[in-house]
């Protein structure tokens, strides 16, 4: 990935699932400082917008130079952008099948349009809200993709029961010990040992939770 804030992403990349996948060599994540490809002594990567307006724009030249330095293994080039194609689990699965990906993280008001047009780079958004730059969105892409790489989670079963593995249906609620916590009880059916009854209960709760939290989804239509 390419960023002007390498330190912002190194912490998250070193912890938990990502940290282990990288330490195990199952995935390789390289963090490049875009300023290393700046062409002036001040290592500047931004400039004023043509046409006027507030804020600054990330310049095309350092981004082109940085990404082109990776030849021939750059793979698909993603440009994180609030105006990108919205990331979903189908896109994550598609990206997880790629041997190499390059992710460009902008800052400021965004990146000179010629990066998307000429590099070229595919604009991707993680959702309909605005972050201050592409780094946190890029980490979302990296984590969602990494957990689908064979050998990272270990059990295929964890993927099958994921929310969104069955299209448009959330996972059922989960409980663990103790049976009672602050007057809140684990549903009796989960203690019954009746696996068929447990499966019926879980399917029903998955559907009710999906309808309550996501009335825009039609659980079961595709799954």
φ/ψ of residue 186, rounded to 5: -70, 130
Q: Which is nearer to ligand JEE, 62 or 84 (CB)?
A: 84
User: Is 147 designated active site?
Assistant: yes
Binds ligand JEE by CB under 6 A, chosen from 133, 139, 169, 219:
133
What is each CA distance from 170 to 5, 22, 69, 174, in whole angstroms?
Answer: 35, 29, 42, 12
Of 15-23, 128-136, 149-157, 194-202, which segment contacts ligand JEE by CB under 6 A?
128-136
Number of H helices, E strands in the chain: 8, 9
Q: Tell me the closest approach of the beta carbon of residue 134 to ligand JEE, in angstroms.
A: 4
User: Is 82 designated active site?
Assistant: yes
219 is a contact residue toward ligand JEE (CB under 6 A): no
SS3 (DSSP) at 88? coil
59 is a contact residue toward ligand JEE (CB under 6 A): no
Is the CB of residue 111 less than 8 Å from the CB of residue 2?
no
Q: Which is nearer to ligand JEE, 21 or 45 (CB)?
A: 45
Region 83-122 residues binding ligand JEE, contact defined as CB under 6 A: 84, 106-110
62 is a contact residue toward ligand JEE (CB under 6 A): no
**Catalytic residue selected from 109, 194, 197, 199:** 109
Q: Tell me the closest approach of the beta carbon of residue 136 to ligand JEE, in angstroms.
A: 8
Region 156-195 residues binding ligand JEE, contact defined as CB under 6 A: none
Of 18-26, 76-84, 151-159, 202-210, which segment contacts ligand JEE by CB under 6 A?
76-84
Alpha helix locations (H) across 50-148?
60-68, 89-96, 114-118, 135-146
Q: Give me the long-range contacts of 126-129 (CB less than 8 A, separation at least 24).
A: 126/80, 126/86, 126/87, 127/86, 127/87, 128/86
Residue 148 tokens, joined: 């689908």
Q: Which is nearer to ligand JEE, 116 or 206 (CB)?
A: 116
Q: Compute the distance between CA of residue 35 and CA of residue 126 in angstroms, rounded to an integer.
A: 25
81 is a contact residue toward ligand JEE (CB under 6 A): yes
Residue linked to tokens 């002036």: 40
Is the CB of residue 128 less than 8 Å from the CB of residue 86?
yes
Q: How many residues bind ligand JEE (CB under 6 A)?
A: 20
Q: Which is nearer to ligand JEE, 64 or 108 (CB)?
A: 108
**Catalytic residue selected from 49, 82, 167, 173:** 82
Active-site residue set: 82, 109, 147, 162
């Amino acid at each position: 990935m390419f960023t002007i804030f390498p330190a912002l992403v190194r912490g998250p990349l070193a912890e938990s699932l990502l940290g282990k996948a990288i330490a195990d060599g199952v995935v390789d994540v390289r963090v490049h400082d875009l300023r290393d490809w700046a062409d002036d002594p001040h290592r500047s990567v931004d400039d004023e917008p043509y046409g006027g307006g507030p804020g600054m724009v990330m310049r095309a030249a350092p981004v082109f130079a940085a990404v082109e330095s990776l030849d021939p293994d750059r793979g698909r080039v993603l440009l994180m952008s609030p105006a990108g194609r919205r990331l979903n689990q189908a896109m994550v699965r598609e990206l997880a099948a790629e041997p190499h990906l390059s992710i460009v993280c902008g800052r400021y008001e965004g990146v000179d349009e010629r990066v998307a047009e000429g590099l070229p780079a595919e604009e991707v958004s993680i959702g309909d809200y605005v972050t201050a730059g592409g780094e946190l969105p890029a980490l979302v892409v990296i984590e969602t993709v990494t957990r689908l790489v064979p050998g990272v989670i270990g059990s295929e079963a964890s993927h099958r029961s994921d929310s969104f593995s069955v299209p448009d249906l959330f996972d059922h609620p989960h409980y663990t010990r103790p049976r009672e916590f602050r007057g809140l009880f684990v549903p009796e059916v989960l203690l019954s040992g009746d696996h068929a009854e447990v499966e019926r209960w879980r399917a029903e709760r998955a559907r009710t939770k999906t309808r309550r939290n996501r009335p825009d989804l039609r659980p079961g239509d595709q799954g």
